[in-house]
Chains A and B, each alone.
Chain A
Amino acid sequence: MNYRTPTGGAIDRNTVLRFTFNGQSYTGHPGDTLASALLANGVHEVGSSVKLGRPRGIVAAGSEDPTSLVQIEAPFPEPMLLATTVELYDGLVARGLAGQGRLANEPDPARYDAKHEHCDVLVVGAGPAGLVAALTAARSGARVVLVDEQNQAGGALLGVDEYLDDRPSAEWVADVVAELKSTPGVLVLERTTAFGMYQDGFVLALQKRTDHLGFAAPASVARQRVWRIRTRQTVLATGAHERPVVFADNDRPGIMLASSARTFRHRYGVLPGSRAVVFTTNDSAYCAAIDLAESGVDIPLIVDARASAPSRLATECAARGIEVRAGHVVTGTEGSGRVTDVHVAPLGSGHADTVVCDTLLVSGGWNPVVSLFSQARGKLRYDSELGAFVPGEELETVRVAGSATGELDLTACARQGRNAGAAAAIAAGFTPSGQVPLPTSDSRCTARSGLVLWRVPGAEDSSFVDLQRDATVSDVLRATGAGLRSLEHIKRYTTIGTAHDQGKTSGMIAAGIVAEALGVELADQRPTTFRPPYTSVSFAALAGRDRGELHDPVRVTAIHPWHVEHGALFEDVGQWKRPWYYPQPGEDLHAAVLRECQATRESVGMMDGSTLGKIDLQGSDAGKFLDMLYTNMMSTLKVGKIRYGVMCGVDGMVIDDGTVIRVGEERYLVTTTTGNAAKILDWMEEWLQTEWPHLDVHCTSVTEHWATIPLVGPRSRDVLAAVAPSLDVSNEAFEFMTWHDTEVAGVPARVCRISFSGELAYEINVTAWHGLAVWEALMAAGAVYGITPYGTETMHVLRAEKGYPIIGQETDATVTPQDLGMSWAVSKKKPDFIGKRSFARAENNRTDRKQLVGLLPVDPSVLLPEGSQIVETDRLPEPPVRMLGHVTSSYPSAALGRTFALALVRSGHERIGETLYVPVDDSLVPVTVTDSVLYDKEGARRDG
């Protein structure tokens, strides 16, 4: 059966769209939503309810609809959309849901993005109030953004056939929109829902840009966009939602809000059914009844809960053969799927009549949409005439206009819009020019408050408050019966208002029923908090373009292309990609690392150390400042020399380490660990700016100015000599912990003789521009020695063999230099440095602190998993088991010919020589505690 009217509606009847719903093929027209197209085909039953499996239909025409959840299957699976907000397109495949959908298994091929927008006045809602507000602000010269959820402006006017100023309302709307769009500095965003309102005029809005194009959506255009709007002033013209009245079996398909039925009629040319009973508490439903009757729907009865019906409207109804029964209510419905009968009885008590119908239209009054106002921390006030919460105060930067205030008369709404638009423009520093004329309507429905009626007494188990959550009056009464009084608690207990619709039609009613049950005034009740998002927003939209390779910046060094070309596998260190190891064909991690370690210890290896943090310090107080930052003395360092240093926080815990190079009398260059480069620069600036601004020191990051290449191993001197002919590389001329400026491969370079492996080693620094070429020159010069590039894993093994800790691996913000066995790096001479005072605290002097030691598994082939716990006995006692510490690093070692580990162990330094146990899987692995330095204790290899 076809419920499409012969004329009317903003649809293109000349074009037919084919779609599939629940496996059935249907047709509709451009301009339809999935809901209107289904209704046009006589389909009311969309899905079933989440808990009880009861059939559910379409209650409302817009985003407030609590029931019409569908799953889109084609063009791309998308769950939990409302049929009332899905614009129809050719080829759409959808099915109804029982409260849950399915996510696609494959990545969404569509693009999503975000865009920042700044304006003086943001207007939310393009109904009469919003349009006048926007036009008033635009004419003042302000930068204006107007967002509206619908695919065309008009708001409530889209659902009626009213005339404004003696012409169709659509013409008035079109004129205003045309002027707005042609005004410079005005942005009109259709299909855009402002879903979140935050501090400082920050509003998030979701624009559905190509959803409605379906298969024809261009791949290059973002399907949805999150607008990040920053505005000085906001006008909320968000309208009002009609609410139902709760009665027994009020959830059957075919039971619909009266104004929504009117919207389906006028906007889409669709009739809700053949024979409709209307149940109302106010005047507005009469207009729906009259309009539908004139369109051919049989309206046998209007049930008006008020003691007397409005006489003029009742007369109009009588002229159309519509009976009006005042002082009556609907007490229940029948039907196996869709409604087939309604029970009507006098309000209070009396005999119930049964009326046959296929549609029941309900109106329980209007709820102003105050979600964004409430999000903006606006206080709400209960309006007992409306039976709804309304904005209860003026905010400095947020104004409310139109039916969002509770006002229902069109001209009055438009006047509020004009006032709000002008006030917003003035507050933003503009002067409104002239007054936008206010439209007047020919509406037959006078705005008059109705009767506030939350529910009709009846079977509480089937009187649904929140249709999506299957929550009934029983559930509410169970909550109040259990002693709950706060609406916030009752919301959580009953789940009312927690579904996709966030209680747009149910929240107010729930509050009313609670107040009745508790015998309290709603004016004394605090409404539940409105939180973003106002309507559902997909994670894809929130992620925007921050996915795939753009998810997080990948930082690369100047030498990165070489690493890629030579098959390096990479490790993420912060945002950096660092070569992890360079496997040769057939090699796994262990094989490659053993080879890289061996080549480096026996001949020469090379790595990309460019990610090390580097900070240039200049000023007459630079030495003094470094003396405060490092635990050891830096001011005594001679120009030309280098010193290793440790930094602690005020609590005495190690935060970073690195080398300090004295470049000149008043200039140093310090290095930080890769991960802490930014943090340490901030740390320095924090002390300089907030504590010691009198110090003459300036810090500048040069991390990325320099490419840094450690050249390591007994043959490193020969390789360096080959590429730096002007440099005397002899041990005497170029001592350990000194630096020289020279040329390497023909470019200016600073070469430092430092070692993180115990081997003879140099660190070559050239500008990042020359990093790649110098790297290649070193590779070429080292070829005769079998120079081997190595990655972070080999670096870790080489340093661990020497017992050098890695900050962040051996340390975790609870480890002091003394715990690391680095008392030698803690100055006893300096009167103060950051952390010094904490070393004297009792806690820092406990003998059972965890200390860094080496562990040698008794079985030299056993590799301890990093992070393993360490216990004292070879059998686990009953829990709780005392843990002595944990393994911080563990590797197989080519140089030692066995596995080894570093660990933090209670009283570790005293335990050297003891056997402890490490639980691995189901066994306890015996390990011998050793000094943390396991290789070349004497330091014989340092000078080559």
Chain B
Amino acid sequence: MTADPTSPLAAWTDRLTFAPALIASERPFLSQLTVRVSDPDAVAALGSALGVVFPSVPCTFTTGSGPFGAVEVLWLGPDEFLVVAAPDLQLPIEDALRAVPFKGSVVDTSAQRTTLVLEGSHVRDVLAHGCSVDLHPSSAPVGTCVQTLLARTGIILQVTGPDRFTILVRSSFAQYLAAWLSDACVEYGAVP
């Protein structure tokens, strides 16, 4: 017997199209690893192992490609990063990172958060109903990655395109966030 995985927003799969306000979609089961490291040489070495340069600027993320395909590294703090890659790579990535000798930690946090991609012309409007960070392109260009509050839950928010955002939310808060987004989109013509 093998147990099938269930994503935090499985119950919302068919209900995330909030057109015309925006289209949301869950990207479940991504590999996610929390890396704590501060030594710049170690940071560089860890990046080389994954084929991506870790972000050096606070509140940004970087992308790269290497042995594990496309990988994103999100800045979470001055010594804290989140490595995000395609599903089912958390174990080999953890091994690859542990192969680099460094002081710090690597933790598989893949199921700790789920990922929502939001796209559409009203995406900034919708987020502005619950997010106090200025998301105007002049303040939050593509490549921005902030940890903040959206409505009443903490999120990690990545600006991934002109009208495209990725939200990482704690799994237990994911359904609340989906309900909040659904309700926020009503204003822009979406049918709940």
Contact = CB atoms under 8 A, between A and B. Distances in A.
Closest 9 CB pairs of A and B: A773-B3, A618-B105, A746-B2, A769-B5, A698-B36, A555-B172, A698-B105, A118-B134, A553-B176
B113 A777 contact: no
Nearest to B113: A704
Contact of A704 (B112, B175, B179): B112
Given A618-B36, A705-B110, 5 more contacts: A555-B173, A558-B6, A558-B171, A704-B112, A772-B6
A369 interface: no
B184 A545 contact: yes
Interface stretch (A220-228, A255-263, A339-347, A754-762): A220-228
A293 interface: no
Nearest to A114: B129
Interface string A182-202: 000000000000000000000
Nearest to A559: B6
Interface in A121-153: 143
B147 interface: no
A interface residue count range (under 10 / 10 to 19 / 20 to 34 / 35 or more): 35 or more
Given A700-B34, A745-B3, A768-B8, A554 B175 contact: yes
B183 interface: yes
A747 B2 CA distance: 7
B136 A702 contact: no
A41 interface: no
A118 B136 contact: yes
Interface in A208-261: 220-222, 228, 230
B123 interface: no
B108 interface: yes
B173 A553 contact: yes
A704 B172 contact: yes
A745 B175 CA distance: 26
B41 interface: no
Contacts of A746: 1-3
A768 B11 contact: no
A576 interface: yes
B172 A557 contact: yes
A553 B152 contact: yes
Given A220-B186, A700-B36, A704-B170, A745 B1 contact: yes
A748 B176 CA distance: 29
Nearest to A221: B187
A230 B173 contact: no
Contacts of B110: 705, 767
Contacts of A616: 105, 107
Contacts of B112: 701-705, 768
Interface in B125-175: 125, 128-132, 134, 136, 139, 151-153, 170-173, 175
Contacts of B152: 546, 550, 552-553
Nearest to B7: A769
Most chain A CB neighbours (cut-off 10 Å) among B111, B131, B134: B111
28 contacts: A111-B186, A115-B129, A116-B131, A143-B136, A545-B180, A550-B152, A550-B176, A550-B180, A554-B176, A556-B172, A576-B172, A611-B172, A616-B105, A620-B103, A700-B105, A702-B112, A703-B112, A705-B111, A745-B2, A746-B1, A747-B3, A767-B111, A768-B111, A769-B29, A770-B3, A770-B6, A772-B6, A776-B3
A552 B153 CA distance: 9
Contacts of B14: none
Interface string A691-710: 00000101011111110000
A773 B183 contact: no
B20 interface: no
Interface string A542-577: 000110011011111110010000000000000010
Contact of B129 (A113, A576, A701, A704): A113
A280 to B, nearest CB: 48
A37 interface: no
Interface in A701-735: 701-706, 723
A554 B128 CA distance: 22
A701 B112 CA distance: 8
A846 B171 CA distance: 46
Contact of B108 (A228, A550, A557, A705): A705
Interface string B5-33: 11110010000000000000000110000
A619 interface: yes
B95 interface: no
A117 interface: yes
A929 interface: no
Interface string B69-101: 000000000010000000000000000000000
B62 interface: no
A774 interface: yes
A706 B111 contact: yes
B5 A561 contact: no
A113 B2 contact: no
B171 A704 contact: yes
Contacts of B125: 115
Interface residues of B, number: 50
A723 B3 CA distance: 11
A777 B6 CA distance: 14
Interface in B39-73: none
A527 to B, nearest CB: 32
A700 B107 CA distance: 7
Nearest to A548: B183
Contacts of B106: 618
A552 B11 CA distance: 20
Contacts of B1: 723, 745-746, 777
Contact of A222 (B108, B111, B128, B187): B187
Most chain A CB neighbours (cut-off 10 Å) among B4, B171, B179, B189: B171
A702 B134 CA distance: 30
A228 B3 CA distance: 47
Contacts of A114: 129-130
Nearest to B4: A773
Contacts of A723: 1
A534 to B, nearest CB: 22
Contacts of B103: 619-620, 696
A218 to B, nearest CB: 10
Contact of B187 (A220, A549, A553, A766): A220
Nearest to A743: B2
A769 B114 CA distance: 10
Nearest to A703: B112
B104 A550 contact: no
Contacts of A701: 109, 112
Contact of A118 (B34, B111, B139, B180): B139
Contacts of A769: 5-7, 28-29, 111
B113 to A, nearest CB: 7
A554 to B, nearest CB: 6
A507 B3 CA distance: 72
A545 B176 CA distance: 13
B104 A230 contact: no
A745 B134 CA distance: 47
Contacts of A704: 111-113, 170-172
B175 A556 contact: yes
Contacts of A115: 125, 128-129
Contacts of A555: 170, 172-173, 176
A705 B132 contact: no
Given A703-B112, A767-B111, A773-B5, A549 B36 contact: no
A553 B171 contact: no
A620 B180 CA distance: 43
Contacts of A619: 103-105
A704 B111 CA distance: 7
A118 B128 CA distance: 10
B111 A773 contact: no
B109 A702 contact: yes
Most chain B CB neighbours (cut-off 10 Å) among A116, A616, A747: A116
Contacts of A700: 34, 36, 105, 107, 109
A620 B104 CA distance: 9
